[in-house]
């Protein structure tokens, strides 16, 4: 509380200083630490207040906690109106615990403003384009980094009944070892599935019965079963992860996804703002997914997720919580006792039924559920109307766009030197995926930092380490399902539930050759002397007896030490500048008219895209997400005798000087001025006139 008051005081001071026009380029911003909401707001207000011509600060909406979601507009006025310039959107912190993104975004803003006068590149961009920056999309959730008790949460603060037991947020984490951090517990348990990793005793891995290994430990979230339902910490405070709440591959009914697409005020605020900014040509987000360090492979798929096994092992113990009380013998209707053999009682779900249930609700809503014994009275197609062919939205990068993405990825790696992904998650429902698949522009996500490159010969076959292909994530959904299924088996008591989740499954349990991500993370922390791992310490647990609390510290695996912000920020800013250098630019390359006699004139035009990117990507054309470039001859429609129509739509025009030609035969008078208008949604506009002779 005191911290908050202090922060507001600081805000006030900053605001006051900004108001009095302190400094020409603003106060020096402090990038040696992570900033809470008040501090971040002050930084933004300071930047905008001291650079009124270049920077506009607006609130795009309020969070549940009534905090403003900030957006900066950075552009030099003059020339083309700012709203009509091609724009780059930089957005961060959709996932609450990804704070480094916020810092990088603010750093870029600061960098652009500071260098406008001195750096010709920056000046050129801000004179011709516009850069929008939303540094903290989920401020309510982000603030928990400064809470007395820290645990890794990606969500906002919307109360959410995670286990759907009619009680909301009733079983959150409990800090058993009183270190202010929520990690995991390991418990000696003959029913446990895990053993201490012989090569790294701080870590655990799954025992392999085929090698004669016997599980010795169970792993749980740090906490107590407060609602006595047999699960530990299955329903903590909040919420919805904003990067799971957008529409592309929306993970229906999965954890953190919310009750429905765009259910959250943060999501809605961003989308409403996007609708008002159709000039956005590219999106760069900082978050827990990546398509820059490892670009999509040649079939357009992103690299697979990399998560911390210790955390996923603990998470697996609660995945069955929202299934307690499902029974398969419900199908009564007309019969006593539920129709299945009268006195059958509550049936325990068989594996087969379970897999059906999983297919029905656990994962995708693509169910085909109820397939067995289905009796359908509703009439089958008798309609005279033709059936529309079933179509599905694209889920891989359009073949026409892959080369652009890979080229840009190579440049990202070159500029930033980042080659090894830190933790990444599958981007179901993520904003940047919406940006590409539905908004139709180049759209990137990067954690904004990387782990040291894994050396070859150390026996670490991590995907993507050479900047090449990531392993196709196709199996992700299935392994996830399997994990939940395994967790479900012991769900009733919940004490034994455990399983292997996507992360470890994707990495393969092949033991020797595939090094776990946990080990890689730990090596990095050791090398960089990062205090990111809580050593296992014995604690008396009220229900489980003696347990050991330890594991990765929340935030430590997601965010690098603050000392690195400035160095990382500079290369990210350079990358942002590089992105804007690629923007398409349409113009009228040629416009001429020749008299044909009899009051007829031949009018010819060539439209050119002098930029690098096409006016619309392949996916934008497929999804009709970007408007066609309009080429319109400003004459009365009836004066056109033949040739092109008055109004023409160019779906896309490739970059690097690609041209398209138009040709009209019109009726007019010598001395008339004929005008040609070209309007593009994301590549500028142009106007030219010619006097008829």
Partner 1 sequence: MNNRRKNTMKRTLMFTKGLLAVFVMLALIPQGGLTQKFASDPPFKVKIDFNRWHDTAEMYADMRRMEQAWPKFVKVNVIGKSFEGRDIIAVTINNPDTGPDLSKAAMLIEANVHGNEIQGGEICLYTVWYLMENYGRLDQVTRLVNERVFYIIPTINPDGRQYFFESPSSSARSGHVPVDDDSDYQFDEDKPDDLNGNGVVEQMRKYLPGKGNYRLSATDPRVMEAVPFGEKGDYIMLGSEGIDNDHDGRVDEDDAGGYDGNRNYPFDWQPNYIQSGAMDYPTQLPEAKAEVDFIFAHPNIAGAQSYHNNGGMILRGPGAEAVGDYPASDIRAYDELGRTGERILPFYRYIVIWSGLYTVHGGFIDWTNDGMGILSFSNELWSGEQYFTSPELKEQQKDPNSPIVPQKSRYFFNDKVEFGAQFMEWKKFNHPQFGEVEIGGTWRKFTSRVPPRFMNEELCHRNMAFTLVQAAEMPMIRMGDATAEKIGGDVYRLFVDIANSKVAPTILERVAPNGVIRPDLLTLDGKNVEVISASWIGDEETYKMKPTITQFIDQKNLKRIMLRNGLAGKTARTIMYIVKGSGEVTVKYDSVKGGSAGKTLKLQ
Q: Is 647 in the site for partner 1 (CB under 8 A)?
A: yes
Tell whether residue 330 is a contact of partner 1 (CB under 8 A).
yes
Determine which residue in the list 149, 347, 539, 610 makes contact with partner 1, applying CB under 8 A: 347
Among 64-72, 185-193, 251-259, 533-541, the segment contacting partner 1 (CB under 8 A): 251-259
Q: Which residues between 381 and 400 bind partner 1 (CB under 8 A)?
A: 381-383, 385, 387-388, 390-393
Residue 198: other Cβ atoms inside 10 A: 9
Q: How far is the CB of 678 from partner 1 (least distance, A)?
A: 11
Closest distance to partner 1 from the beta carbon of 653 (Å): 15
Nearer to partner 1, 184 or 358 (CB): 358
**Tokens for 270?**
């961003």
508-537 binders of partner 1 (CB under 8 A): none
120 near partner 1 (CB under 8 A): no
Residue 370 near partner 1 by CB under 8 A:
yes
Main-chain phi, psi angles of 662, to 5 degrees: -135, 155
Using CB under 8 A as the binding rule, whether residue 362 contacts partner 1 is answered as yes
CA pair distance 31, 285, nearest whole angstrom: 19
Residue 573 sits in the site that holds partner 1 (CB under 8 A): no
Q: Minimum distance from CB of 14 to partner 1 (Å)?
A: 35
Minimum CB distance to partner 1 smaller for 263 or for 458: 263
Q: How far is CA 26 from the centre of its chain?
A: 32
Q: How far is the CB of 689 from partner 1 (least distance, A)?
A: 17
What is the contact mask toward partner 1 in residues 124 to 163, using x (rule: CB under 8 A)?
-------------------------------------x--
Confirm or reject binding of residue 203 to partner 1 (CB under 8 A).
no
What SS3 class is residue 322? helix
Phi, psi of 325 (to 5 degrees): 95, 5
* Residue 87 sits in the site that holds partner 1 (CB under 8 A): no
Rg (CA), the chain: 29
- Tokens (6 digits) for 168: 């909301």
Find, among 108, 116, 114, 115, the residue nearest to 133 by Cα: 108
**Helix, strand, or coil here: 632?**
strand
- Measured from the CB atom, the residue of 111 and 439 that comes closer to partner 1 is 439
Residue 384 CA to residue 399 CA, distance in Å, equals 37
Alpha carbons within 13 A on the beta-carbon side of 313: 27
Do 693 and 603 meet the contact criterion of CB atoms below 8 Å apart? no
Per CB under 8 A, the list member of 21, 180, 209, 325 interacting with partner 1 is 325
CB of residue 484 to partner 1, shortest distance in Å: 11
Give whichever of 348 and 594 is closer to partner 1, judged by the CB atom: 348
Enter the tokens of residue 622. Answer: 């497929």
544 is an interface residue for partner 1 by CB under 8 A = no
Under rule CB under 8 A, residue 58 binds partner 1: no
Window 161-180: residues binding partner 1 (CB under 8 A): 161, 164-166
Site residues (CB under 8 A) for partner 1, limited to 475-504: 492-494
Site membership for partner 1, residue 244 (CB under 8 A): no
Give the C-alpha separation, 417 to 410, whole Å: 10
CB of 512 to partner 1, least distance (A): 38
Site for partner 1 in 659-688 (CB under 8 A): 679, 681
In whole angstroms, the minimum distance from the beta carbon of 634 to partner 1 comes to 9
Considering only 56, 489, 646, 667, the residue that binds partner 1 (CB under 8 A) is 646
Q: Detail the DSSP E strand segments found in 162-246.
A: 184-188, 194-196, 204-206, 217-221
Residue 366 C-beta: closest distance to partner 1, Å = 6
# chain residues binding partner 1, by CB under 8 A: 97
Q: 368 exposed, middle or buried (CB, 10 Å; 0-12, 13-18, 19+)?
A: exposed
Site for partner 1 in 208-237 (CB under 8 A): 228-230
Instruction: For helices 99-115 and 565-581, give the axis angle rounded to 10 degrees.
Output: 60
Q: What is the DSSP string of 104-150?
A: HHHHHHHHHHHHTTT-HHHHHHHHH-EEEEE--S-HHHHGGGGSSSB
- Provide the angle, in degrees to the nearest 10, between the axes of the packed helices 476-489 and 309-316: 50
Q: What are phi and psi of 547, to 5 degrees?
A: -130, 165
In 19-129, DSSP assigns E strands to 55-62, 68-74, 87-92
Token reading at 123: 């000046």
> Which residue's CB is nearer to partner 1, number 121 or number 673?
673
| Spatial contact of 231 and 165, defined as CB atoms under 8 Å apart | no
Give the one residue of 149, 475, 539, 640 binding partner 1; rule: CB under 8 A.
640
**Is there binding between residue 324 and partner 1 (CB under 8 A)?**
yes
Angle CA(390)–CA(396)–CA(400) in degrees, nearest 5?
105
Q: Rule CB under 8 A: is residue 337 a binding residue for partner 1?
A: yes
Binding-residue pattern over the window 432 to 471 for partner 1, x denoting contact by CB under 8 A = -----xx---------------------------------
């Amino acid at each position: 509380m005191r911290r908050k008051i202090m922060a507001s005081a600081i805000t006030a001071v900053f605001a006051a200083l900004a108001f009095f026009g302190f400094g020409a380029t603003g106060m020096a911003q402090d990038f040696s630490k992570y900033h809470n909401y008040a501090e971040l707001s002050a930084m933004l207000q300071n930047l905008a207040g001291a650079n009124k011509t270049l920077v506009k600060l607006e609130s795009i909406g309020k969070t549940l906690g009534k905090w403003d979601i900030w957006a900066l507009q950075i552009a030099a006025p003059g020339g083309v109106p700012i709203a009509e310039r091609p724009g780059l959107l930089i957005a961060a912190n959709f996932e609450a615990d990804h704070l480094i993104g916020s810092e990088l975004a603010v750093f870029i803003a600061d960098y652009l403003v500071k260098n406008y006068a001195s750096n010709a590149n920056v000046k050129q961009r801000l004179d011709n384009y516009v850069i929008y920056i939303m540094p903290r999309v989920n401020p309510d959730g982000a603030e928990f980094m400064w809470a007395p008790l820290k645990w890794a949460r990606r969500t906002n603060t919307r109360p959410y009944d995670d286990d759907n037991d009619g009680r909301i947020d009733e079983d959150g984490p409990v800090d058993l070892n009183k270190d202010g951090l929520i990690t995991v517990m390991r418990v000696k348990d003959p029913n446990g599935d895990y053993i201490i990793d012989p090569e790294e005793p701080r870590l655990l891995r799954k025992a392999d019965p085929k090698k004669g290994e016997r599980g010795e430990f169970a792993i749980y979230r740090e906490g107590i079963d407060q609602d006595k339902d047999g699960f530990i910490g299955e329903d903590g405070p909040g919420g919805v992860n904003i990067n799971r709440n957008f529409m592309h591959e929306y993970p229906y009914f999965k954890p953190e996804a919310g009750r429905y697409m765009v259910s959250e005020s943060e999501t809605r605020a961003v989308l409403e703002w996007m609708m008002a900014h159709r000039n956005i040509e590219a999106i760069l987000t900082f978050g827990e997914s990546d398509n820059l360090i490892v670009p999509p492979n040649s079939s357009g798929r992103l690299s697979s997720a990399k998560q911390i096994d210790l955390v996923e092992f603990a998470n697996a113990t609660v995945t069955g919580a929202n299934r307690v009380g499902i029974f398969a013998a419900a199908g009564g209707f007309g019969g006593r006792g539920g129709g299945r053999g009268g006195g059958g009682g509550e049936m325990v779900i068989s594996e087969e039924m379970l897999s059906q249930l999983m297919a029905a609700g656990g994962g995708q809503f693509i169910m085909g559920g109820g397939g067995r014994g289905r009796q359908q009275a509703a009439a089958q197609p008798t309609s005279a109307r033709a059936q529309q062919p079933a179509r599905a939205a694209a889920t891989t990068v359009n073949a026409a766009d892959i080369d652009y993405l890979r080229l840009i990825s190579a440049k990202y790696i070159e500029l930033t030197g980042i080659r090894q992904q830190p933790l990444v998650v599958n981007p179901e429902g993520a904003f940047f995926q919406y940006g590409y698949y539905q908004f139709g522009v180049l759209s990137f996500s990067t954690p904004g930092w990387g782990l040291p490159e894994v050396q070859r010969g150390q026996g670490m076959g991590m995907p993507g380490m050479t900047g090449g292909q990531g392993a196709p994530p196709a199996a992700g959904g299935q392994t996830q399902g399997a994990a939940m299924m395994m967790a479900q088996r012991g769900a009733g008591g919940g004490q034994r539930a455990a399983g292997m989740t996507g992360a470890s499954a994707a990495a393969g349990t092949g033991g020797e050759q595939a090094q776990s991500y946990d080990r890689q993370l730990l090596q990095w922390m050791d090398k960089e002397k990062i205090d990111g791992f809580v050593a296992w310490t014995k604690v008396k647990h009220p229900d489980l007896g003696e347990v050991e609390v330890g594991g990765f510290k929340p935030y430590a695996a997601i965010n690098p030490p603050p000392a690195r912000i400035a160095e990382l920020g500079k290369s990210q800013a350079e990358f942002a500048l590089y992105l804007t250098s690629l923007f398409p630019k349409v113009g009228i390359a040629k416009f001429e008219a020749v008299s044909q006699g009899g009051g007829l004139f031949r009018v010819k035009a060539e439209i050119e895209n002098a930029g690098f990117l096409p006016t619309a990507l392949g996916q934008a054309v497929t999804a009709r997400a970007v408007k066609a470039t309009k080429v319109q001859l400003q004459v009365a429609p009836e004066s056109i005798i033949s040739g092109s129509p008055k109004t023409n739509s160019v779906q896309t025009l490739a970059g690097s000087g690609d041209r398209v030609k138009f040709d009209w035969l019109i009726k007019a008078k010598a001395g008339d001025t004929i005008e040609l208008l070209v309007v593009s949604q994301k590549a500028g506009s142009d106007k030219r006139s010619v006097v008829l002779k």
